Each structure stands twice: as C-alpha cells, then as structure tokens.
Amino acid sequence: MNNNPLFHIFGEVLFDHFPDGSRVLGGAPFNVAWHLQAFGQSPRFISRIGNDQEGHEIAALMDDWDMSRDAVQTDDSAHPTGSVQVLIHNGEPHYDIVADSAYDFIDSHLLGQKQTLGILYHGSLATRNPVSRRALQTAKAQHQGKVFIDVNLRPPWWERETLLPLLHDADWVKLNEAELSALCPEVSGLEAAMQAFCAQFDLETLVVTLGEQGAIAYDRQRHFVTVKPPPSTVVVDTVGAGDAFAALLLLGLSKRWSLEATLERAQTFACALVGRRGATVADRAFYQAFSEQWND
C-alpha cells in the first residue's frame, strides 16, 4: 500500500447498462483512477459500492488491477452499486443516472484524519447528494495540494449554486465547450469565454474539450494551446475518451510536462482509446507502450 499517494480520486464507480442487456464498467473518476494505476501511479480512489454482486465484481476487478481499495467504502444499507441506464433515441444515447446509489453516500467519517498532498481530482456528479458533498468537503479540508475538477453537467443532477463554490476551490478545470457556455453564458467566443472563466475562478489551467475537433487549453501565463486528433483516427467507441484525456492531464501536471506536451500526449492516448470498445483497457501492454514513449 502507498501511504503517500500522489493522486486522490473522489467520485463515482458504476455500470452502464445498455438496451441489449450488456453493461460496461465506468464512472469518470473510476476510469481516471484505472488509467493512472496502469501508468505506474497508485491513486487513492475514494468511493462507495453496494454490498451486492456488482459491488463485489468491482472489488475483484480493482484487486486484479492492483488498485488500492483502502478508501472504497461498502454500503451495508439499501444503496446499490451505481448504475446508468443508457437509452438510445434516434441513434443518440440518453442517460438515466440512477439516484441514491452507493456513491451518493460516501461517508465523511470513514475518510480518516490524515492530511493529504498531491492532486485531488473530482467531478460534479458525485456532489449531487449532500452526503457525498460533505465527504468531498472533508477530503478537501484535509488536502494541502492542488485540486482538479472534471466538470460533467448531467441534467438534472447539477445546480449552479453548489457547483460554483467547488470551482472557486479548483486549480485546474476540464470541461467541454457546451459546459463552458452553460457556466459562462454572458461571454461570446470560445477564447474570450475561457479567459473570463479563468479570471472568475482564478485558475492555473483550463482545458476545454471539443470532441472530434480536439481540445484547447489556457493557463495563467495567458497562453493558449490547441491539439487536434489526426484525420486517420479510427473511432470504435467514444465512451470514456474524456476520462482518458483527464488522466493524462493529471499525469502531465504531476510530472511537470509542458502544457503543449501534456495536451499532445492526452490527445494521443484518447485517440488510441476510442479505437477500442469500452472506457478502460485491461491490457497492461497497451499502457506500457505509451509509458516507454513518454519516458523523458
């Protein structure tokens, strides 16, 4: 066990259930933690699973991947492991994110009293319930390092009045262009909105993902960096692409890669992931190839 993990990943782990009866393990924080583990880190994943078959399955998968479960709580009451019902309408996916899941009830009293360093990552979905929101506040109060927020606005599971204070606590933020527009509606133009957003929340770095158009970042030095995927990118499954991108942003920030190198490597890794089915890859060789390439 790593007593001083560099990454503290807070939030949901769940299964996406599809109309054909299939299911895929996910949850943005879990996906990020999975990738970081594969890249030789030992993230502390802070979450909660049900005392049910899916919870036991997640625990076994984490053990197989050598992920620490020290901060993964088991809910012995009626709250099941997180799930999302994916519905397809006119070819487009729609998500029913089941309420009152185990990850909505992460218990602040079980987090321990130890002060933490490094980077604390969290999204916005796991803060929809006051219980887990209190747990996040406890984790942040004990944290003396940086805070990275991966915004994920899923109506009706977010409220401006609870999200904005979290953004004020952040050092780094990642979101997509639609989310930036929702949170900064008074400013037109992507770069102007990014500048206004960074100024409002006093951020070190803001990253806006643009789907098939790549991503753009802006930092405190008033420096814009853009990346685009190559035209030859083969897309099999875009689920989890943003989480792969976020994992590499965290890795780059921790290793003090330049912003240009961090974005390029995040784009390269995300492009490789969308060529496979699923949000994570259970093949260590897949990750090893990137680690060797980036061993600088």
Burial class (CB in 10 A: 0-12, 13-18, 19+), 27: buried
- Concatenated DSSP letters for 44-77? EEEEEEESSHHHHHHHHHHHHTT---TTEEEE-S
pLDDT digits 0-9 by tens, 67-76: 999 999 999 9
Spell 73-96 as b/e; 16+ CB within 10 A means b. bebeeebbbbbbebeeeeeeeeee
User: Would the pLDDT of 165 be above 80?
Assistant: yes
Sheet with 23-26, edge to edge strand ranges = 23-26, 14-17, 82-89, 92-97
pLDDT digits 0-9 by tens, 218-233: 999 999 999 998 877 8
Q: How does the average pLDDT of the chain come out, rounded?
A: 92
Q: What is the pLDDT of residue 19?
A: 85
pLDDT bucket at 280, cuts 50 / 70 / 90:
confident
**Predicted TM-score (pTM) of this structure:** 0.94
Crossing angle for the helix pair 241-255 and 28-38, to the nearest 10 degrees: 50
pLDDT digits 0-9 by tens, 85-143: 888 777 666 788 999 999 999 999 999 888 999 999 999 999 999 999 999 999 999 99
User: Would the pLDDT of 275 be above 70?
Assistant: yes
